[in-house]
Amino acid sequence: MTTLNPYISFTGNAREAMEFYRDVFGGHLTIDTFGEAGLGDDPATAAQVMHAMLVTDEDLTLMASDAPPGMDVTVGDNVQISLSGPAEDEIELLGYWERLSASGSVDMPLERAPWGDHFGACTDGFGIRWMVNIGGGQAA
């Protein structure tokens, strides 16, 4: 099965962000630094994240890295992530929504959408925009 995994570029705080997402979603986080890959002569760059991958028990996968020097990144404008599932996953999706929105701001409240599902959008404390869609159930 082919999967689509969001990949987020950060500007020096990828480790902190990915540890936060591990706290939100659970799972196993692996982090490789530029230094471990032999790509960081400068101690500040060597400690930055070359590649991080979070894989949860629910088969959610999120990847990230710190942008290398000279690469422009506008955090929050370079990615938007959608979490969606059927009504049977409502409790899990509501938990994600609550933890993500608590660290930042609610852009659109999680409520019944014109298409019949419950939908909301938030920006977490790292400036990443999230959309949560709960299919046709009782939600929020």
- What are the structural domain ranges in the chain? 7-66, 80-134
Reading phi first (left if > 0) and then psi (alpha if -120 to 50, else beta), residue 136 is in left
Q: How open is the CA angle 106-129-4, to the nearest 5 degrees?
A: 140
Same fold, 7-66 and 80-134: yes
Choosing among 3.40.50.2000, 3.40.50.11740, 3.30.70.2740, 3.10.180.10, the CATH entry for 80-134 is: 3.10.180.10
Pairwise CA distance, residues 82 & 90, whole Å: 15
Superfamily in which the 7-66 domain is placed by CATH: 2,3-Dihydroxybiphenyl 1,2-Dioxygenase, domain 1 (3.10.180.10)
pTM over 0.85: no
- Can you give the C-alpha Rg of the chain in angstroms? 16
Nearest to 81 by CA among 126, 39, 140, 32: 126
Note the pLDDT tens digit of each residue in 63-85: 898 987 777 787 666 677 888 88
Note the pLDDT tens digit of each residue in 19-42: 999 999 999 999 999 888 777 678
Better-scored residue on pLDDT, 52 or 2: 52
